[in-house]
Structure 1
Amino acid sequence: MDTPALIADDLVVLRGGRKTVDGASLTVAPGEIYALLGGNGAGKSTTLFAILGLIKRSSGVIQVAGHDPEVAPDAVRAAAAYLPENVALYDHLSALENIRYFLGLAGQTRTGAELDQAFDAVKLAPAARTRRVSGFSKGMRQKTAIALALLRQTPVLLLDEPTSGLDPAAARDFHDLLIDLRKRRVATLMVTHDLFGAADTADRIGVLQGGRIAQEWTAAAQGPRFDIQALHQSYAGPDAA
């Protein structure tokens, strides 16, 4: 059994005097995709922010590639690539220029062949790579950001609603890429409302309710990965069809 690349144990986070996260616990092993579902305000994004060290936890344990974000924030951010729901890129720069710039901020350089390999992996057309991203669709922006995550070669990937606003083809490409990252032994934590995408891709699915993991499922080794109807009823409530 691999040592988890990401650990959150009995995590508590206060925001505005309220326990937004109240005892949440989860682990993600190398090469595992964990999908975290939950309604609006359930604490999903807050959990990601605490893992990154962007907000302080009140109690509990967080380890990212063996580092505590409050003790070693730079080490955590070097070990974890984060993809927000709305990717922030410089519109006046091309996809290639954005990636080179952000790699430079991280103190990293990559060869032209490595850059092409990353763009090929995310299926960003060669003609688009030197275009300004001001004209990019959301899917193209997501592909650029994922290419950057690939090039950073971090052991942990954190995703916040990665398929929100994507068309079905772009969402399928994204999930195919996650499966490729699994082969590369990347530990992926994906916050999402996309139940069907999670069921197709994830190795484990957890539902965050009341600030803690209320239910968790593991994909079957054989046959259908998850019982979609059972997942839907648990996630959407007893009135869900």
Structure 2
Amino acid sequence: MAVIEISDLRVARGGKLVLNDLSLTVAAGEIYALLGGNGAGKSTTLSTLLGFLKPSAGKVVVAGTDPANDPEATRHKIAYLPENVALYEHLTARENVDYFLALAGEAHSNTDIEAAFDAAGLQSEARSRNLSGFSKGMRQKVAIALAVVRQVPVLLLDEPTSGLDPKATADFNALLSTLKARGTAILMVTHDLLGAADCADRIGFLDAGHIVEEVSRAQGFDVMALHRRYGEAVAV
């Protein structure tokens, strides 16, 4: 059953049609990577799922809610990690999680929060440190811990491995596997074909606002053939 369902979606920005009959689904416990070059519509797709943009046509359902009609209810079901994770540098990792949980109106035990940090792989000593000294990979672990403790059904990722070294990328992919095993539906937008092939169950190639090709892990990812087809729109 699809947790994210997009059907024949059309979205315009500044009078220009950006998403043109876009259709895709993401099931519970599935990682879907949406690849495309600049201007293909990746960011617009995320903004529409989050309820910041309203479609002119088509259907969008996120965990049973319509983001255009009820954006607040939809966002309560989503954890969103932008390319630069938006956390407070003057707060500790634990204080950030406490703050965002309070903002969401959710109460969780200390045991649950510590277990979420454990699942995210953030070391115990780092949890009481201000984020000003954290690397991008460590910031992502804090954000993932927040997603874990909230137990939201949907995770949206924007260029999640940009700027990460190979070790941090491998750690991040392991975190995604943890969330996938919990049944989270994960949609990532990226131009990193190799990174997508490492973790995704399906990859969709976005061009001019719609999917021009979709491949699955079950079929096997021929990375070099895909790169030849899409050239500068993806990176290897």
Q: Secondary structure at the match of 1:5?
A: strand
Worse-matched range after superposition: 188-197 or 31-40: 188-197
Show the counterpart of 1:115: 113
What is the root-mean-square deviation in Å for CA atoms of aligned residues?
1.6
Q: Give matches, 1:4-43, under 5 Å.
A: 4-43=2-41
Q: Is the 8 A contact 2:93 2:128 kept in 1?
A: yes
Show the counterpart of 1:55: 53
TM-score by length of 1: 0.93
Show the counterpart of 1:234: 229
Show the counterpart of 2:130: 132
What is the total number of aligned residue pairs between the two structures? 235
Q: What's the % identity of the aligned pairs?
A: 59
Q: Give matches, 1:175-194, under 5 Å.
A: 175-194=173-192
* One-letter amino acid matched to 2:227: H
For 2:230 and 2:184, locate their aligned partners in 1 and report how far apart those are by CA, in whole Å. 26
Query: Per-residue deviation at 1:53?
Result: 0.5
Query: Per-residue deviation at 1:219?
Result: 1.1
Query: Per-residue deviation at 1:4?
Result: 0.3
For 2:2 and 2:204, locate their aligned partners in 1 and report how far apart those are by CA, in whole Å. 16
**Structure 1: gaps of 5 or more residues:** none
For 2:227 and 2:118, locate their aligned partners in 1 and report how far apart those are by CA, in whole Å. 34
For 1:148 and 1:17, locate their aligned partners in 2 and report how far apart those are by CA, in whole Å. 37
Query: Per-residue deviation at 1:134?
Result: 1.1
For 2:191 and 2:116, locate their aligned partners in 1 and report how far apart those are by CA, in whole Å. 27
Poorly superposed stretches of 4+, deviation over 4 Å? none
Query: Per-residue deviation at 1:112?
Result: 1.7
Query: Per-residue deviation at 1:202?
Result: 0.7
For 2:107 and 2:179, locate their aligned partners in 1 and report how far apart those are by CA, in whole Å. 21
Q: In the TM superposition, what whole-angstrom CA distance separates every residue of 1:132-180 from its partner, at most 9, and x where no partner exists?
A: 1111111111111111111111111111111111111111111111112
* One-letter amino acid matched to 1:18: K
Q: Is the 8 A contact 1:37 1:235 kept in 2?
A: no
Show the counterpart of 1:170: 168
Q: Secondary structure at the match of 2:143?
A: helix
TM-score by length of 2: 0.95
